[in-house]
Each structure stands twice: as C-alpha cells, then as structure tokens.
Amino acid sequence: MNKTVALHTLGCKLNFSETSSIGRLLEHEGFEKRDFDEVADVYVINTCSVTDNADKECRMLVRRIQRKAPEALVVITGCYAQLKPQEIAAIPGVDLVLGAAEKFNIAAHLKEVTKGDSAKICSCDIEDVNEFTASHSINDRTRIFLKVQDGCDYNCSFCTIPMARGKSRSDSISNVIANVEAIAAKGAKEIVLTGINLGDFRPPNPLKGEIANAVRTEKENFLSLIEELDKVNGIERFRISSIEPNLLTNEIIEFVSNSKKFMPHFHIPLQSGSDKILGLMRRRYKKDLYTERIGLIKTMMPHCCIGVDVIVGFPGETDEDFQETFNFLHQLDISYLHVFTYSERTNTLAATMKPVVPINIRNERNKVLRNLSYQKMQYFTNAHIGQTRKVLFETKNRNGMMEGYTDNYIKITTPFNEVWENNIVEWKI
Ligand code: SF4
C-alpha cells in the first residue's frame, strides 16, 4: 500500500506554491495525498518567519498530529526551519527539519529518518543557497501562483527574509514560459507571478563576482519577462503579486497599461508614509517616488486597483510620524491596504532600535489604518457600480455561492452556476 502524506502551509502565497510543489514531488515518489485533518504516514509543515506566532503555531500543529497519528513522521521546513532549526528540532514529535536548500530533496531525506530517533536537521548556511527551484500552486485550477523569483538582496532593517531565503535568484524566461504553457494545458486561466522581490527578476546566474554583476544588467529582467509572457497562448490573465516601488519602472507601468493579458492591478509595498521612518527601515525610496508611481498608474489606468503594504509601530514612529503616514495614505488614490503591526525579529537591526512603540499603541494604529483600508475599498468598489467588467469565476462551490474577480480585482459573489466555473464572464457590477 502506498504511503500517505498531508501538507500544511503557514504564511504567504510563495510558501503556498512551494508546498503544492513538494506535494506533487512526493506524489511522484508514490505518496498519496491526504487532507491535513486526516490520518497520514507523513506530515509536512511549511513554516513562515513573518507570522508573529510561527513558533506557537508550529507547536500546536505538531501536538495535533501527535494526538491523531502518533506514529507519523513529522517534517518541518520553510523560513522558520531555516532560521531556528535547533528550536524546531527540540519540539517533541518533530522528526525532520529541512532548511531552505533541502526542502525539495524531501523524498531522499524521508528515507533516512525513523520515528523515535531524535530529530534530524538538514540545513546549510543560507549564504550557500544558490539554486532556484520553480514551483506553483494548483489548488483551485482557476488561479495559479507561479514562483519565478526567490530570495532578496535588500537589507530592510526589520526583515528576516534574506536570512531565511538567501540571495536573490530567478528562473530563466524560457523555463517560466515552459511552466506557463504546461499550466495552460491543464486549463488554468489566470497566473499570479510571485517572488520575494519580484521586480528583481534577473537571469539565473551561475557566475560569481564582477562578471556576474555584468551579466545581470543584460537582457533578462522583469520587463522582458512580462513582455515574453504576454505572447504565450492559453493563459488569459496574468497578475503581478507584489513589486517594490523602486523597481516598478515607468516602462513596466506603460507595458501593463497596453497589455490585454496583464491585469490593471498592482500591489506595491509602502511600509511608511514618513521619510524618516522609511530611512530607518532602510527602504530604497522616499515617499515622493511612491507618489509619482501611483500618479503614473492612475493616469494611464484610472480603473487600476492598487494595494499597499504598510507597517505600523516601527521603533521611533512618533504620533506625528504615524499621522504623516495616515495623511499620506488618505490622499493617495489607492484601493486597499494590508496593515502589519511591527514586531521585533531576532538578529535584525530594527530589533535594537529605540524607542520602541508600546504594543497598545501599535494595535491602535493598526486599527486606524484598517478602518482607512475599508473606506478605500468601499470607495473603489462603489466607483464601479453600474460598470460592466470581465469576471473570472472560481470553481469552488461555497455553500451554494461562487466567487470571482474582475480584471481590476473587485470580488464578485453570486449564487453558484456551473456554466461560469473557470470562465470569464461579462458582468454588470
Ligand atoms: S525588500 Fe526588504 S522587506 Fe522585502 S524581502 Fe527584501 S529585505 Fe525583506
């Protein structure tokens, strides 16, 4: 009888796409997939370092597994596993900890572990992680998250991602195209390009040092990637998951505005509307540049949906600084916010910065911006009432209802109708 495996993702869409790929890889090795709530022979948890409670969540999940399937092998991988392997190995019930370079070698590692032995750690120095492994999710076949870039060379003072995922590296354009064609052949209509620092897409680089830097400036970059993808048949829609404002060039904005396949939807991290705080965060732009980007997008695509990441309660953020962020976002023509409350991360520069903002004030600021986000979303949606836009409906029947998104990311919910499943429908909002 085949062995069974159940997988669980904590964190972002990139993690989600990697978990999907690990699952397919294990299926290829003869494993049968089970839901995480079911009994399985092997459980894999793909962890995140950004969530506040990675540690707590991981412990809770392992306890649940132990109650349900005490003999099952428990594997922990992902960002948290790379950052704190010893801590994870010490959690009772964990059998195998796989770092950033080893997660896709899971099948080989599983052959080496036995339940009852102390947890095995397979992890290397993050500096040595060079390889890029493409992955994509295939949960609901309508919208697929395709990883085309990994890691980050930036050094934002609050962020542990470069320590967890390593240096910036990408797939080749030809390989991305091959993956997109294969996904299209399975019937998917929309692909979301994902990465850690997606705008930093560059040629795969086996070289080191100066020659490598010279090669990087040539040919393959994010703009050439989307130009090539635009020509691929079979996929009707592409979205760009998130792109740093300093890498979102005028050429990219112009290209998207003329493209039939790249949707009028951007997600652009801002993090703070105060230049002082942006400096402390070591972000690579000031708010003027951000204003310019939004201005250009809205001039070229007035109906474009724009999402913004923002962090509240960063060390040194005074009431005035927060007010400046609020005012900046309030007057900006954007559609919604993702608000994060700052929390200290071990081994980051920001964790040593003073003065820290009391937790209750951080939470209050979060509430204020969430409220603003709600209003922005209402305003953006209401402005489209009466318009007809193209909606791609998902295949899931959610208690008799179905969901879909317009080209500019307005969510539509309507009674389930199988004729619309995975189809693009002209829809009056
Ligand atoms: S750009 Fe900054 S916040 Fe984003 S992954 Fe890189 S270091 Fe982290």
Domain final residue pick, 93, 124, 155: 124
Backbone angles phi, psi at 335, to 5 degrees: -110, -30
**Do 16 and 136 have their domain in common?**
no
Give the CATH number of the domain where residue 247 resides: 3.30.750.210
Residue 315 inside a domain? The answer is no
**Do 150 and 244 have their domain in common?**
yes
Question: Tell me, what's the pLDDT at 294?
Answer: 98
HEC secondary structure over 330-399: HHCCCCEEEEEECCCCCCCCHHHCCCCCCHHHHHHHHHHHHHHHHHHHHHHHHCCCCCEEEEEECCCCEC
**Do 158 and 232 have their domain in common?**
yes
162 lines ligand 1 (CB under 6 A): yes
Residue 146: helix, strand or coil by DSSP?
Answer: strand
**Do 141 and 206 have their domain in common?**
yes
Instruction: pLDDT band for 140, please (50, 70, 90 cuts).
Output: low
**How many A from CA of 6 to the centre of ligand 1?**
30
**Do 135 and 254 have their domain in common?**
yes
Question: Tell me, what's the pLDDT at 124?
Answer: 77
**Do 140 and 257 have their domain in common?**
yes
Question: Tell me, what's the pLDDT at 51?
Answer: 64
Instruction: pLDDT band for 131, please (50, 70, 90 cuts).
Output: confident
Domain final residue pick, 83, 106, 124: 124
**Do 258 and 174 have their domain in common?**
yes
**How many A from CA of 269 to the centre of ligand 1?**
10
Ligand 1: residue whose CA is nearest its atom 4? 197
Closest CA to 203 of 252, 155, 148: 148
Percent of the chain with pLDDT over 70: 95
**Do 69 and 158 have their domain in common?**
no
Mean pLDDT in residue range 182-193:
94
Give the CATH number of the domain where residue 93 resides: 3.40.50.12160
Between 218 and 110, the more confident residue is: 110
pLDDT in tens, 320-352: 999 999 999 999 999 999 999 999 998 999 999
Whether the per-residue pLDDT at 166 is higher than 70: the answer is yes
Instruction: pLDDT band for 205, please (50, 70, 90 cuts).
Output: low
Q: Are 239 and 193 in contact (CB under 8 A)?
A: yes
| CB proximity list for 271: less than 8 A, separation 6 or greater | 156, 277, 278, 281, 283, 309, 310, 311
Instruction: Name the average pLDDT for the chain.
Output: 92
Beta bridge partners of 308: 268, 337
Residue 382 inside a domain? The answer is no
- Angle of CA points 265, 142, 192, to nearest 5°: 35
**Do 119 and 185 have their domain in common?**
no
Residue 339 inside a domain? The answer is no
Length of the chain in residues, anyone?
A: 429
Residue 302 inside a domain? The answer is no
Give the residue numbers spanning the domain of 30.
Answer: 4-124
Mean pLDDT in residue range 280-300:
98
**Do 90 and 9 have their domain in common?**
yes
Measure CA 154 to chain center. Answer: 17
Instruction: pLDDT band for 116, please (50, 70, 90 cuts).
Output: confident
Residue 174 inside a domain? The answer is yes
Mean pLDDT in residue range 230-246:
96
**Do 147 and 258 have their domain in common?**
yes
Question: Tell me, what's the pLDDT at 380?
Answer: 98
Q: 82, 150, 154: which to mutate for ligand 1, most atoms within 8 A of CB? A: 154
**How many A from CA of 69 to the centre of ligand 1?**
38
Question: Tell me, what's the pLDDT at 269?
Answer: 98
159 lines ligand 1 (CB under 6 A): yes
Q: How many domains does the chain have?
A: 3
The ligand 1 atom at the shortest distance from the C-alpha of residue 283 is: 2
Residue 309 inside a domain? The answer is no
Residue 119 inside a domain? The answer is yes
Between 57 and 359, the more confident residue is: 359
Residue 413 inside a domain? The answer is yes
Instruction: pLDDT band for 204, please (50, 70, 90 cuts).
Output: low
154 lines ligand 1 (CB under 6 A): yes
The ligand 1 atom at the shortest distance from the C-alpha of residue 196 is: 5
Closest CA to 142 of 186, 177, 197, 200: 186
**Do 106 and 167 have their domain in common?**
no
Q: Which value, in Å, is the radius of gyration of the alpha carbons in the chain?
A: 22
Domain final residue pick, 106, 124, 142: 124
Question: Tell me, what's the pLDDT at 218?
Answer: 52
Question: Tell me, what's the pLDDT at 216?
Answer: 45
Whether the per-residue pLDDT at 262 is higher than 90: the answer is yes
**How many A from CA of 158 to the centre of ligand 1?**
8
Whether the per-residue pLDDT at 267 is higher than 60: the answer is yes
Question: Tell me, what's the pLDDT at 139?
Answer: 63
Instruction: pLDDT band for 2, please (50, 70, 90 cuts).
Output: confident
Q: 159, 194, 278, 343: which to mutate for ligand 1, most atoms within 8 A of CB? A: 159
Mean pLDDT in residue range 59-72:
94
State the Cα–Cα distance between residues 324 and 121, nearest whole angstrom. 46
196 lines ligand 1 (CB under 6 A): yes
* Cβ neighbours around 372 below 10 Å, total: 18
Question: Tell me, what's the pLDDT at 12?
Answer: 84
